[in-house]
A and B are shown apart, each in its own frame.
Chain A
Amino acid sequence: MLHIENLHVSIGDKPILAGIDLDVKAGEVHAIMGPNGSGKSTLAQVLAGREGYVVTAGCVRYLDRDLLALAPEERARAGVFLAFQYPLEIPGVANVQLLRTALNSVRRSRNETELDAMDFLDTVKGKLELLGMDDSFLYRAVNEGFSGGEKKRNEILQMAVLEPRLAILDETDSGLDIDALKTVAHGVNALKHPGRAVILVTHYQRLLNYIVPDRVHVLAGGRIVRSGDASLALELEERGYGWLMPESSPQTEARP
């Protein structure tokens, strides 16, 4: 479903990703772990189409299309979803308005009929329930005044409404209490399907108890330095990252 080959990305003149190779097949769950600043969010944002990141080499294919050639909204309509590490606040725009505009944009692109306000409410209420969210969240401005955990849950609500084929969750588990973590995991598991794939960016093994990954990757210094099965996450929890750090990555390069 997703095939990343030798991906190099810079921000300004600064190289951040230094040759990423990754293959994600339909039905799989991949976890990406790694130290702070290693490039995990950069990878996630590049996949979602954020401007300002320069791809200096490599390519990304998604469902046999050149993903990097698509505008962000085209990627979303093709089924790519990014749950942001830091969701944005949009004052004055009600959550329900964002959700309905987004869903109808996606439906229109698939030649499906748009949902009117009533049908949309029916759809979204089921999703709210799944995530243990109150109706009142629909009418509040997007993420404005939401607690950290509520923002993360709201990202998953958007995901649940859009039903993406490739969901990339950037530290959605950070800042969640134990019950919220279970609810969010439940929301993600509810989406699991042989035709769909999930990439989880996380620092903690905890989430992986609820969403069991097929593969675990360690990103350090802009490269994937180790891949393994679910047991790798347990090992990392034990030993940290030190033993994996590449000798000459931009991260660990010795400065005089």
Chain B
Amino acid sequence: MTPTLYRQALEQTGGSPHLLAAREVALERFFSHGLPSPRDEDWKYTPLDFLERAELHAPHHTAEDWTSEDYPGIALKYGNGRLTDVYTQSIHAHSLADRADTALVVRYLGQLADTFPGNTALAEINSALWQDGLLLHVPAGWKSAPLFMVHRTSEADAMLHLRHLVVLEAGAEAVLVEQCLGAPGLAYWHNSVTEIVLGEGARLTHLKLDENSAAATHTGLTLVQQARDSRYRALSLNVGARVARHDTRVHLDEAGATCQLDGVFIATGRRHIDQHLHVDHRAPHTGSSQTWRGIADGRGRGIFDARVVVQPGARKADALQSSRNLLLSPHAEIDVKPQLEIYTDDVKCGHGATVGQLDPAEIFYLRSRGIDADTARALLLRGFVEQALGLLKDSGLADWLEPHLAAALPAPNKEHTA
């Protein structure tokens, strides 16, 4: 990627003179940093300098050919980075590009991306080149219907920068499901930045399903700022892309704010799936919990890096972390790095992380009940993953998700042949 290619992409974006000026500034800053290299400690497992050697371009076409999947809610469909349905039935969800000049967007856009520490380069290139995305704004006291944001990429070597802004005002509630798909075998780069601002007592349930093509690169940054008594519950299902890096950073700014960041990753084939979580307890009586289950098969590679910081003022904070991981083949690898940094007394913290294999005694137990070995392994894998899906119980999304999960789990007996 030469600077010229990025500049060409910038020329294809739009917006007011004010926005264009901001894009120019962001691009210059990006040039001064460059893409993360292995020298960056935070990126040592997942350097992106290979993108420098690729020739990517802003998409020329809007995607069509939608799968006929039924979504149990309102669907917003994005093709090659742009909203394709002009008409949506939601009164709270809009194309971000269409609303870029509204007072709300001007006020909030970039507020978290520009001020939260870390993750600079990808946020900057996104700020410079984003073409479209979601604006979800739920006014005080409103409850939004479940919203499915579906991204589909059908153009080879496209570089998609999606930008999403979610603002839930006091007491507002929403369920947001994000699904990323790509034409099979297609190479592209999907880079998204999501800024989420939760007002007092607001509640957001956020399901993220990465089913990008097995040749794609996916980088996603989710930034969340939480006011008093707000609740953010996220469930990630990271099962797609050739190289994926998912960053989530949550600031619990006021008392009573809680977040639950759960997820599953399944790295089959040669997939490389890296997830970084960072929760910052910055006020008393804040709570965070993380339950993750990871599976690597074939030559798959998984990274789980979760950092929870309890700041000096955050008395009575509650932080729980559980990460269990399974290696299904001798060539698979999972690196787990749980970090708890506690700068105050009077907190309740617990964490546990394991990497292991399927238990032969459990397989035998199931076989002794007449279940064949492949089915026994499949049951155990599904059960393993189930432990991270607690959030689905009261979400009404479990049935919708099930086939996606089933498709992502390693097929039986691959274990022996991989």
Q: Which of chain B's residues have a CB closer than 8 A to the CB of A162?
A: 369-370
A97 vs B375: C-alpha distance in the bound complex, in angstroms?
12
Q: Is the CB of A93 within 8 A of B360?
A: no
Whether B372 pairs with A92 at a CB distance below 8 angstroms is no
Chain A's interface size range is 20 to 34
Q: Is the CB of B367 within 8 A of A88?
A: no
A73 at the interface (CB under 8 A from B): yes
- Count chain B CB atoms within 10 A of each CB in A48, A97, A105 and give the residue with the most: A105
Task: List the one stretch of B95-103, B213-221, B376-384 in contact with chain A.
Answer: B376-384
Chain B residues 373 to 409 lying within 8 A of chain A, measured CB to CB, are 373, 375, 379-380, 382-387
Tell me whether B362 is interfacial, beta carbon within 8 Å: yes
Q: How far is the CA of A72 from the CA of B375 in the complex (A)?
A: 13
Q: Does A209 contact B (CB under 8 A)?
A: no
Query: Is B86 part of the binding interface, using a Cβ–Cβ cutoff of 8 Å?
Result: no
Given contacts A90-B362, A90-B365, contact A73 B372 (CB under 8 A): yes
Closest to A48 in B: B368
Q: Is the CB of B361 within 8 A of A72?
A: no
A88: chain B residues at CB < 8 Å are 359, 361-362, 365
Known contacts A50-B364, A88-B362, A158-B369; is-contact A93 B375 (Cβ 8 Å) = no
B366 at the interface (CB under 8 A from A): yes
Question: Closest CB of chain A to B140's CB: distance in Å?
Answer: 39
Q: Which residues of A contact B361 (CB under 8 A)?
A: 88
- A82 CA to B368 CA in the complex, in Å? 7
A71 to B369, CA, bound (A): 11
Contact B380 A105 (CB under 8 A): no
Give the contacts of A66-96 with B (CB-CB under 8 A).
71-73, 75-77, 81-82, 84, 87-88, 90-93
Neighbouring A residues of B353 by C-beta, 8 Å: none
Contacts of B372 in A (CB 8 A): 73, 105
B366 engages A98 (CB within 8 Å): yes
Give bound CA distance, A1 to B417, whole Å.
Answer: 39
Do A102 and B386 touch (CB < 8 A)?
A: no
Q: Does A49 contact B (CB under 8 A)?
A: yes
| CA gap between A141 and B390 in the complex, in Å | 13
> Do A90 and B383 contact each other (CB < 8 Å), given the known contacts A51-B360, A73-B372, A73-B373?
yes
A73 touches B367 (CB 8 A): yes
Contact of B104 with A by CB under 8 A: no
CB atoms of B367 and A101 under 8 A apart: no
* Whole-angstrom distance between the Cβ of A80 and the nearest chain B Cβ: 8
CA–CA, A134 to B229, complex, Å? 38
In the assembled complex, the Cα of A135 lies from the Cα of B373 at a distance in Å of 28
Q: Determine if B379 and A101 form an interchain contact, defined as CB atoms under 8 angstroms apart.
A: yes
Name the one of A73, A75, A93 contacting B386, with C-beta atoms under 8 angstroms: A93
Query: Nearest Cβ in chain B — how far from A171, in angstroms?
Result: 16
Q: Is B1 an interface residue when CB atoms closer than 8 A count as contact?
A: no
The reply to whether A101 and B371 form a contact with Cβ atoms under 8 Å apart is yes
Q: How far, in angstroms, from A255 to B46 measured CA to CA in the complex?
A: 60
Q: Is the CB of A102 within 8 A of B360?
A: no
What A residues does B379 contact at CB under 8 A?
90, 93, 97-98, 101
Q: Which residues of B contact A (CB under 8 A)?
A: 359-362, 364-373, 375, 379-380, 382-387
The 7 closest A-B pairs by CB, nearest first: A92-B383, A92-B386, A93-B383, A76-B370, A102-B369, A72-B367, A106-B370
Q: Given A82-B368, A101-B379, list of 11 further CB < 8 A pairs?
A: A49-B368, A71-B373, A73-B370, A84-B365, A84-B368, A90-B380, A93-B379, A98-B366, A98-B371, A105-B370, A105-B375
